[in-house]
Amino acid sequence: MGIGTYLVLASVLFGFGAAGFLARRNMLIQLMSIELMLNSVNVLLLAFNRVNPSNHDGQVFAFFVIAVAAAEAALGLAILIAYYRIKKTLDTDDATLLKY
């Protein structure tokens, strides 16, 4: 078993996240899908760092990704609540103002 397995797993998880983000209409679940994608990237970073363990670059990067994910979750949920206030729903198909 080599690093390729990790990479495949990461890409599959990323695919799940992407598909969830694109296919679901519930904004909450779309945000969770984003978390999935970020997580899969972390796997990738750690796996590559494990191949070349002479430094911690990958792990430091993953650390920052976790921090950014936290910030993203906070902001995303804030936006979600603001959106809910306006639309009284979490359905993103109702967010069509971009058309104008």
Partner 1 sequence: MHVEAPQQILLLLIILFPLGGAIINGLLGRYMAKGLVTLVGVGSVAVSFALAVVSFVELYGLRHESETATLVYHFYEWFSLKLPSGHVVAVNVRFVMDSLSGVMTLVVTGVGGLIHLYSIGYMGDDEGYPRFMSFLNLFMASMLILVLGSSMPVMFVGWEGVGLCSYLLIGFWFENRDYAAAGRKAFVVNRIGDFGVLIGMFILVAVAGSFEFADINSAAMAGEFRPDFPVWLLGVAPSLATVACVFLFLGCTGKSAQIPLYIWLPDAMAGPTPVSALIHAATMVTAGVYLCCRLSPLFITSDVAMSIIAVTGTLTALLAASIAVVQRDMKKILAYSTVSQLGFMFAAVGVGAFAAGFFHVFTHAFFKACLFLGAGSVMHAVHAHGDADIFKLGGLKKALPITRLTFLASCLAIAGFPLTSGFFSKDEILLGAAAQIFRPDDMLMTSVGWFTLIGLTLAAVMTAFYMFRLYFLTFTGEYRSADQSGDHPYDAHPHESPPAMTIPLVVLGVGALTVGFLGLPHVVPIIGTHLSDYSWWGHWMAGSVAGQPVPEEMYIVNLASGLAFGAMAIGISAAWVLYRNKGTDALAEKMPARLYQIAFDKWRVDELYAATIVNPIKNVATVAGRADMTFVDAIMTKLPSFNVREAGRILARLQNGVVHVYGAVMVVGVVAVLAWFWTPHSRIEAAFEGTQVELTTPQGLGYEYRWDANSDGEFETQWKRAPGTTFQYGHDDMRGIAVFLKNVHTGIEHRIDVTEEWMPLPIESVVPAEFLSPRDTGFEVRIDGESLLFRKAHAKTKLSGMKEIRLPMGKSGRLGPARVSSRPLVEATLEVRNAFGNTHSATKEIALPFGFEAPTHASLTRPAHEVVR
Partner 2 sequence: MTGPGITLFVVTATFAIIGALITISARRPLRAAMGLLVNIVSLAGMFLTLNAHLLAALQILVYAGAIVVLFVFVIMLLGPSAEVAPAEGRLASRTLSIASTIIVVLAVSSSVAYFNPPWEAVPDGFGTVEGLGMAIYRQALVPFEVISITLLIAIIGAIAVARSRTE
Lay out the site mask for partner 1 across 67-96 (x = CB under 8 A, - = otherwise): -------------------------xx-xx
Q: Which of 41, 68, 95, 97 binds partner 2 (CB under 8 A)?
A: 68
Is residue 98 at the binding interface for partner 2, with CB under 8 A as the rule?
Answer: no
Residues 6+ apart with CB under 8 A from 26: 90, 91, 92
Sites for partner 2 among residues 14-43 (CB under 8 A): 14-20, 22-26, 28-29, 31-33, 35-36, 39, 42-43
Of 12, 30, 21, 13, which Cα lies nearest the Cα of 76? 30
Number of chain positions touching partner 2 (CB under 8 A): 73
The sign one gets for the Cα dihedral 76, 82, 85, 87 is negative
Q: Which of 6, 21, 48, 83 binds partner 1 (CB under 8 A)?
A: 21
What is the gyration radius of the CA atoms in the chain, in angstroms? 17
In the block, residue with structure tokens 């363990």: 53
